[in-house]
Amino acid sequence: MFKIKKLVRCTLAFATVFAAHNAFASSTPTIETNNRERANNLGIVASAPIGAPNNNYESVFANLALHCIHQEFPNVVKHMMNNGGDVKAPSQLYPAFYGCLDWHSSVHGHWLLVRMLNTAQAAVDKDEIIEKLNISFATENIQGEMKSLKRENNASFERPYGLAWFLQLTAELRQSSVPEAKIWLSTLLPLEKEIVSRVSAWLPKLAYPIRTGEHSQTAFAFGLMLDWAKTSGNKEFEAQLTARIRGYYQDDTQCPLAYEPSGQDFLSPCLAEADLMRRVMPKKDYSQWLSAFFPNLNVSTSNWLTPATVTDKTDGKLAHLDGLNISRAWMIEGIMSALPDSDVRLPVLQKTLKAHREAGLNAVFDDMHYMGSHWLGSFASYLETKRGIN
């Protein structure tokens, strides 16, 4: 179990870092957890059991996003360059979503902040979050995003991962009670409309699902998109996506979970598919489907799936495995939510969930390099707030 001591040390470390400087150096140094003696003097020694709330994690997650939301460098820009005019600074190309290393991480960093406003206003700096979001969601910034998105030869930009996170962002805004959320959503709607149109045009052309453990995976993205469709009330998109999901995955059996993970996965192809299918199937049918999909998952299973280990947190690709542990945890929890209380597989799934949750959250509450800190807070927030379930 992760210790509240670690959490407090991390919170104090972030406060120290923010006071010392407002941006990471371009060499992306490690975030050091200092002030350990001061944290020890607080005398907080209890462990937080799995599933138990704590009083600090929300501010830790929010601070991760606040720290990088408008930090331009280092930066990874991925798009087609048609001419010299497409070679610009990230903030000129993507004036709303240029921070946190890359476009999709910036998008889900913004989602994280809205999620914290929706679920933990008293535990975070509400005023600072609103100030930052007001800057990002200025009308001229979203107009700039639209201009970049609609450039020639850019149809596949951030498809499907970044686009799915954008829809998750606008879904979160729809569910927000913060007065500013209505204004932000109104500003983002043209971009949302363009993204939905692109995905709708792409789905009939996608002959096969994409079964990787990284950004191009379709199962995870479809789950976020389907949740958006239900939240927004877009029945047409929901029906189209549901039909494609069933066509891609419903006949799948014996998923090769033993082949996972690949060396730089942050998503499980098998678990993401299982977490997706519970969204489109009745519980009885889903339970039977899961038996065929994971035939080795039963009451006698031991060590069904073990957490992954990161060997170098400064390597952005290798650091993906910290995120894999977190996403596995929320996907397992999603699977469990769709099974009857009497299902004999639940103890095995609970044990696996606990191991992955501990491993994943320890990575967030412990020392982190920028290669992890710019995005892992979003994954941790998704898990801890049960976003895929609630």
pLDDT, tens digit, 9 for 90 and up, residues 113-126: 999 999 999 999 99
Single-letter amino acid code for the residue at 306: T
Instruction: Tell me what pLDDT residue 178 has.
Output: 97
Q: Count the Cβ atoms, other than its own, within 10 Å of residue 376.
A: 24
DSSP string, 311-344: S-TTSTTTTHHHHHHHHHHHHHHHHHHTS-TT-T
Residue 368 three-state SS: strand
How many alpha carbons fall within 13 Å on the CB side of residue 135? 15
Whole-number Å distance between alpha carbons of 4 and 88: 44
Instruction: Tell me what pLDDT residue 302 has.
Output: 78
Q: Measured between alpha carbons, how far is residue 344 from residues 69, 220, 291, 298, 339 in Å?
A: 44, 26, 11, 7, 10
Instruction: Tell me what pLDDT residue 55 has.
Output: 53
How many alpha carbons fall within 13 Å on the CB side of residue 377? 33
Instruction: Tell me what pLDDT residue 198 has.
Output: 98
Q: Measured between alpha carbons, how far is residue 343 from residues 272, 289, 339 in Å?
A: 20, 14, 6
Tens digits of residue pLDDT in 71-87: 999 999 999 999 999 99
DSSP string, 103-144: HHHHHHHHHHHHHHHHH-GGGS-HHHHHHHHHHHT-HHHHHH
Q: Measured between alpha carbons, how far is residue 116 from residues 188, 195, 257, 323 in Å?
A: 19, 24, 33, 19
Whole-number Å distance between alpha carbons of 331 and 323: 12
Whole-number Å distance between alpha carbons of 304 and 102: 34
Q: What is the pLDDT along the chain (390 residues), one digit of tens a residue?
A: 444 334 434 443 333 333 333 333 333 333 333 322 322 222 222 223 333 334 589 999 999 999 999 999 999 999 999 999 999 999 999 999 999 999 999 999 999 999 999 999 999 999 999 999 999 999 999 999 999 999 999 999 999 999 999 999 999 999 999 999 999 999 999 999 999 999 999 999 999 999 999 999 999 999 999 999 999 999 999 999 999 999 999 999 999 999 999 999 999 999 999 999 999 999 999 999 999 999 999 988 878 999 999 999 999 999 999 999 999 999 999 999 999 999 999 999 999 999 999 999 999 998 789 999 999 999 999 999 999 998
Residue in the block written with tokens 């937080």: 48
Structural contact between residues 169 and 108, judged by C-beta atoms closer than 8 angstroms: yes
pTM for the structure as a whole: 0.88
> 221: which 2 tokens?
């993205």
Report the sign of the C-alpha dihedral through residues 161, 307, 381, 342, in that order.
Answer: positive
Q: What share of the chain is helix, strand, coil (3-state, %, to 5)?
A: 60, 0, 40
241-250 contact pairs (CB < 8 A, 24+): 241/203, 242/280, 244/203, 244/206, 245/276, 245/277, 245/279, 245/280, 246/280, 248/208, 248/209, 248/218, 249/209, 249/219, 249/273, 249/276, 249/277, 250/277, 250/281, 250/289
